[in-house]
Amino acid sequence: MRKEFGVGIIGFGTVGAGVVECLLRNGELIGRRTGVHPRIVRIADLDIVSDRGVAVDPDWLTTDAAALIADPAVDVVVELVGGTSAALDFILAALAAGKPVVTANKALLAEHGDRVFEAAAAARQDVFYEASVGGGIPIIKAMREGLVGNRINSVVGILNGTCNYILTRMEAEGAPFDEVLAAAQAAGYAEADSGFDIDGWDTAHKASIIASLAYGEWFGMKPLHVEGVRNISLRDIRYAKRLGYRIKLLAVVRQEAGDVQIRVHPALLSTDSMLGNVGGVFNAIMVCGDPVGETLYYGRGAGREATASAVVADILDVGLNLAADSARRIEAFRPHEGFGGIIPIERIRTRYYLRLQLVNRPGVLCRVARVLGDLDISLASVNQQESDEAAEGMEPAAVPVVILTHEACEKDMQSALVQLRELDVVAEPPVMLRIEDLG
């Protein structure tokens, strides 16, 4: 007998429409492949009038999400509303009604994951969240199941499609930040509030979910160091490139002797590295485990189709669990290993890129080198870039100097920045970026 299960979708926006389109286009194939057939029975949205570019049965549409959750024909509730208030209510209501949930909502999980997973455990239901991290890349399943035999040493990822798209086009075309951000919004990559993307919060939500999967502690947002890409200039992108690096917004999750660092910030990656060559809307996540070693996952990190692919995979997991009566076969999240604590950003050690605008007179480099040397920060290279004025035969007031350091402690680098800002030969606030050496 044909095994069908009913799908109810709350939120008929970009991702919701993508999920409906994928289920309509590939539903039969999915059913033949898995033996269980997903059948859309309800779609709830406040706007059920606008054309989403996909033909739906008008009987599916409702403005009443509570009625969708209560509908006995709905076997799985798919939350694609976004945000952290109404979406949380829908998820808790679905679990209380004894229904499994699929969500793409990384902000909600990062901020209220503890409540959601507690409610799921109490209801003995599943919450699947593949689309919350890495768009179409099945990274949650890879970490939860494929890498279950490993201790995770580190996860380093490019996790925001919007930022990667912006940085890639700035480098390739010299395009201004605001112009490429507008293009990312038009392509459906950016969050409703694009500040979540460019200020690093979206990446931080994803980093928190990844860290919790890796180390068995629901971290939430408290321990994260977060910086975005709003202040990355074309100038620094160009200087980094000349030195053999690309600037990427990175999430770094790393275990050191039982403690964990979780940080999100722009970083220089070698143009020879695999992550350094991930361009456009693509995401990539490098997971290093024991015993597996390095593994790399790559794919579109944002957009209707990529996200829909991940949501549909979760819907099918629910369908298979329903057919086999095997709900909670794999718990969404389970504490599994003690760890010492969070390593604050001040304690990390890394290499640094420093750009200084220095007054053009003899002896200034000496004063800069003394500040860095006194703090035990060793210089790997010093590059004085010829200014535009010098190229035109005029005497420049200040010249850009780019310094790469050897590995140093963040606390010392922060002290150096304070002291450098106070030097009368430093014409503008220094720019500091971390360098991430991979592999």
Using the minimum distance from each CB to ligand HSE, give the nearer residue, 69 or 190.
190
Smallest separation, CB 301 to ligand HSE (Å): 5
Report if residue 301 touches ligand HSE, rule: CB under 6 A. yes
For helices 161-173 and 234-242, what crossing angle results, to 10°? 70
Out of 135, 157, 200, 228, name the contact with ligand HSE by CB under 6 A. Answer: 135
Tokens of 171: 């480098």
Phi, psi of 197, rounded to the nearest 5 degrees: -75, -60
Nearest to 77 by CA among 43, 119, 29: 43
Beta bridge partners of 98: none
Which region among 52-60, 190-198, 317-325, 429-437 touches ligand HSE (by CB under 6 A)?
190-198
State which amino acid sits at residue 236. Answer: D
Residue 419 near residue 425 (C-beta atoms within 8 A)? no
Using the minimum distance from each CB to ligand HSE, give the nearer residue, 106 or 254.
106
Using the minimum distance from each CB to ligand HSE, give the nearer residue, 202 or 227.
202
- Provide the strand spans (E) within 163-280: 225-226, 245-256, 259-270
Residue nearest to ligand HSE (CB): 162
Dist CA 271 CA 255 (whole Å): 25
Tokens of 20: 């409906």
Smallest separation, CB 224 to ligand HSE (Å): 17
Using the minimum distance from each CB to ligand HSE, give the nearer residue, 267 or 302.
302
Q: Which of 3, 206, 241, 411 is catalytic?
A: 206
Beta bridge partners of 44: 10, 62
Tokens of 401: 């100097």
Q: Look at the chain and count its residues.
A: 439
Smallest separation, CB 5 to ligand HSE (Å): 26
Out of 191, 410, 412, 436, name the contact with ligand HSE by CB under 6 A. Answer: 191
Report if residue 302 touches ligand HSE, rule: CB under 6 A. yes
Dist CA 13 CA 82 (whole Å): 10
Verify whether residue 206 is a known catalytic residue.
yes
Using the minimum distance from each CB to ligand HSE, give the nearer residue, 190 or 287.
190
Give the SS3 label for residue 339: coil
Smallest separation, CB 227 to ligand HSE (Å): 17
Report if residue 105 touches ligand HSE, rule: CB under 6 A. no
Which region among 189-197, 255-263, 355-363, 364-372 touches ligand HSE (by CB under 6 A)?
189-197
Kindly report whether the peptide bond that precedes residue 291 is cis, defined as omega within 30 degrees of 0: yes
Smallest separation, CB 300 to ligand HSE (Å): 9
Tokens of 326: 């095997």
Dist CA 56 CA 43 (whole Å): 9
How many chain residues bind ligand HSE (CB under 6 A)? 11
Tokens of 124: 């003995």
Smallest separation, CB 131 to ligand HSE (Å): 8
Residue 77 near residue 10 (C-beta atoms within 8 A)? yes
Residue 162 near residue 180 (C-beta atoms within 8 A)? no
Q: Strand 259-270 to strand 245-256: parallel, antiparallel, or no bridges (unpaired)?
A: antiparallel
Using the minimum distance from each CB to ligand HSE, give the nearer residue, 77 or 249.
249
Using the minimum distance from each CB to ligand HSE, give the nearer residue, 69 or 159.
159
| Residues 201-260 close enough to bind ligand HSE by CB under 6 A | 202
Using the minimum distance from each CB to ligand HSE, give the nearer residue, 6 or 303.
303
| Residues 377-416 close enough to bind ligand HSE by CB under 6 A | none
Dist CA 54 CA 21 (whole Å): 6
Q: Give the per-residue contact string, 146-185, with ligand HSE (x = CB under 6 A; - = no).
A: --------------xxx-----------------------
Smallest separation, CB 267 to ligand HSE (Å): 17
Phi, psi of 311, rounded to the nearest 5 degrees: -65, -40
Out of 155, 190, 214, 310, name the contact with ligand HSE by CB under 6 A. Answer: 190
Smallest separation, CB 156 to ligand HSE (Å): 16
Residues that bind ligand HSE (CB under 6 A): 135, 160-162, 189-191, 197, 202, 301-302
Looking at the annotation, which residues are catalytic? 206
